[in-house]
Structure 1
Amino acid sequence: MSYSEAQPVRISSEPAQLQALEPVLEKVRAAVGDVPTLLTLAEDIGRTAPKPGEGNTAKLWELLASVTAVDVAAGRVLEPHLDALAILAQAGVEAGADGEHEGTWGVFAAEGPGTKLEAKRTANGSYVLNGSKPWCSLAAQLDGAVITAHTEDNTRAAFAVDLKHQGVTAETPAWTSRGLQEIPSGTVHFDQVEARPVNHGNWYFQRPGFAWGGMGVAACWLGGAVAVARDYTDALTKAAANGREPDQIALASLGEIDRILATTTSHLAQAAERIDAGDLEGSDPDGPSPWPEALRIRGTVATAVERVQTLVTQNLGPGPLAFDEAYGKRMADLSLYIRQHHAMRDDAQLGALALKGDRSW
């Protein structure tokens, strides 16, 4: 098991179409562990990558899944950059169109106890940020971020921020995690930092793209699960070549993995098609909201990831976890990444929506 494979992950494209991803994936493979190079690649990819809701959502998710299948941390670098570009575009501010939004971007929307970021309007009508924001991945290495802050009317709004501003201080976190070691997420402090509103009010949370972005993260998780499944099939093939054919338990586990990944991928493909068809816009108050579907997708993929990891580790045992760097890194990275899913709390939110009638059954 290694980083030598750069095989795309298919959601709905024809195999010939997926071949176009291979050169990019080879570059990602060569840059594993090299965050500056991965950020440069993310910036290059962002210039031509599809945006959700514009007709090629499945291709966007295939890109995210495929990069994450090569290396989970690489997907963790790429996804927020593409999400930030999509947010700016949805707000009518094309990144790079006026030179203001070039470089690499993140999205910082987390909240945490003991920290608060406030946005206040100045006398000339502009905004400045003061306070602290937790869970800001790679803040010291990024150029800009879409960041949420508390406003004077007791709501939260999104702002575009230059992270190179002299009033921005990124802490170096005590990142002890074995997963995503090259993607530390620390607290960033803001002192009179100029910020540009991204649309207005709580638009950031109400836009359909908020749910679409959550599904994009799930596409990354899927890519990680596919990579783990490929690790398993490679191990079975190698063992068979050495005279040890897989037993019924190994084959049953592979069959379950195949079933899980096939149904999960199909769910993503259908959601991408609905997004591009305008069925998950959420702009019609009498129409379907995109958020229940996002919760379904995220919960389904997170459950799939955990089950695939369990089946593979049960069958392969401790050996590769202890001695195979690529496999061990993938497992640790993916285990941390999927904890962005809020598990039963998200299911409770989905259950409340289903109880109100937002369901298809």
Structure 2
Amino acid sequence: MRRAVLSADGEPSAVAQTVVDSAEDVPMLGTHVDATLDWCVGVGRTAPRVGGGSTPALWEILAGTAAMNVSAARMLEPHLDALSILHEAGVDLVAGHDEWGIEQVDAGPDSSWGVFAAEGPGARLDAHNSAGTWRLNGTKPWCSLAGHVSHALITAFVDDTHRRLFAVGMRSAGVRPHRDEWFARGLSHVVSSPVDFDDVVAVPVGGIGWYLSRPGFARGGMSVAACWWGAADGIAAALVPPASSEHADQLALVHLGRADAALWGARATLVEAARTIDDPRPGVDERLLAERVRAVVSDAATITLAEADAALGPAPLVSDHDHARRVADLHLYLRQHHGLRDIARIGRAVASVGR
């Protein structure tokens, strides 16, 4: 299996190598949800965080996992993101630091985490403070693995317009994930359904509006892009054998070449972004950086999917379980990128500064 590498010397970091190797020992990685989440919790105890020189190693962990199994990366990324968010807020459950008192919802070093911050029509989650205790009521859409994770960081409205982040125990009374509403063929084991909350105790993490305004918000979006890149690299690996065959024609080489060039450009973009994060310079807009990174990587992954379809035809989509699953998973995962709307934000940002 090819390794996703972002380091300058072309060798994976030791921590990334160790984590990806450990994934090979997980029974039914990505399909046995509880076993995969247990592995995610273990990874989270030692995984590096974005920034401070550790960004390439973290992104190699995510990309290497996605190259192996996209669903597993889709489970690992939000768990690590939640730990990073908590760290930004002054909470380190492994070290025993808890500035916000999330032990009140029984969170600890063995917790598995989701991050639920999406909004949608017809669904609203409100938080009310009653006698010093915050409680959640309403419905939150797009809650991935809500029936499996032990805890979540979740945004809720504290008035008509403002939202705040809360930690909540997902096994609390009054938490009811919707059932039988996930018909996806991609990421079929990463069920993302609405969840109803009925007077559920929660603990605030950060102030009003902190979740969206914190520095790490944009960095989390780039970590998702690292997963896309790793998943696409895993698909591109299937183009090598037919292009290496003595019977290969020019088209097989073209398909491989186009995918390779696109992924090389995406890798270079991730490398530059990691350098920018780890060695921050004045005036860098990390939100714009994240939009650019996600656009470049999304385009590269889309090109790779198209080249794989053209080069390999329908056979592996119907006869190769791993390839078919990887393709379906990545197609759905890429829908976290909002296409032209996200590109428009780049254009708006560039136009506003006149360059």
Q: Does TM, scored on the shorter chain, surpass 0.5?
A: yes
1:201 counterpart = 2:203: no
1:353 counterpart = 2:332: no
Distance 1:51-1:19 versus aligned 2 partners, 3 A rule? closer
1:54, distance to aligned residue in structure 2 (A): 2.6
What residue in structure 2 maps to residue 265 of structure 1? 267
Q: How many Å separate the matches in 2 of 1:234 and 1:182?
A: 30
Give structure 2 stretches of 5+ with no counterpart. Answer: 97-102
Note if contact 2:152-2:169 (Cα within 8 Å) is conserved in structure 1. yes
Q: Deviations over 1:55-114 (max 9, x none)?
A: 211110111000000000010010000000000001111134446333100100011111
Correspondent of 2:130 among 114, 119, 122: 122
1:40 counterpart = 2:35: no
> CA RMSD of the aligned region, Å?
1.7
Q: Deviations over 1:255-293 (max 9, x none)?
A: 2222111111011111111111123xxxx7xx2321111
What residue in structure 2 maps to residue 329 of structure 1? 325
What residue in structure 2 maps to residue 61 of structure 1? 59
Q: How does 1:1-361 map to 2 (within 5 A)?
A: 5=1, 7-12=2-7, 14-18=9-13, 20-29=15-24, 30=26, 31-32=28-29, 33-98=31-96, 100-102=107-109, 103-124=111-132, 126-152=133-159, 154-237=161-244, 240=245, 243-244=246-247, 246-279=248-281, 287-357=283-353, 361=355
Corresponding residue SS for 1:47: helix
Note if contact 1:52-1:60 (Cα within 8 Å) is conserved in structure 2. yes
1:9, distance to aligned residue in structure 2 (A): 0.3
Question: Is the deviation greater in 44-53 or in 163-172?
Answer: 163-172
Distance 1:127-1:13 versus aligned 2 partners, 3 A rule? farther
Note if contact 1:228-1:331 (Cα within 8 Å) is conserved in structure 2. yes
1:146, distance to aligned residue in structure 2 (A): 0.7
Give structure 1 stretches of 5+ with no counterpart. Answer: none
1:18, distance to aligned residue in structure 2 (A): 3.7
Matched length: 342
What residue in structure 1 maps to residue 100 of structure 2? none
Q: How many Å separate the matches in 1 of 2:264 and 2:225?
A: 15
1:254, distance to aligned residue in structure 2 (A): 1.5
Note if contact 1:13-1:59 (Cα within 8 Å) is conserved in structure 2. no
1:191, distance to aligned residue in structure 2 (A): 1.1
Q: How many Å separate the matches in 2 of 1:165 and 1:208?
A: 31
What residue in structure 1 maps to residue 99 of structure 2? none
Distance 1:353-1:173 versus aligned 2 partners, 3 A rule? farther
Give the letter for the 1:82 counterpart.
L
Q: Deviations over 1:187-242 (max 9, x none)?
A: 111111111111101011011100000000000000011001111113434xx1xx
Give the letter for the 1:263 counterpart.
G
Corresponding residue SS for 1:342: coil
Q: How many Å separate the matches in 2 of 1:18 and 1:354?
A: 35
Q: How many Å separate the matches in 2 of 1:106 and 1:79?
A: 9
1:174, distance to aligned residue in structure 2 (A): 2.1
1:335, distance to aligned residue in structure 2 (A): 0.1
Corresponding residue SS for 2:156: strand
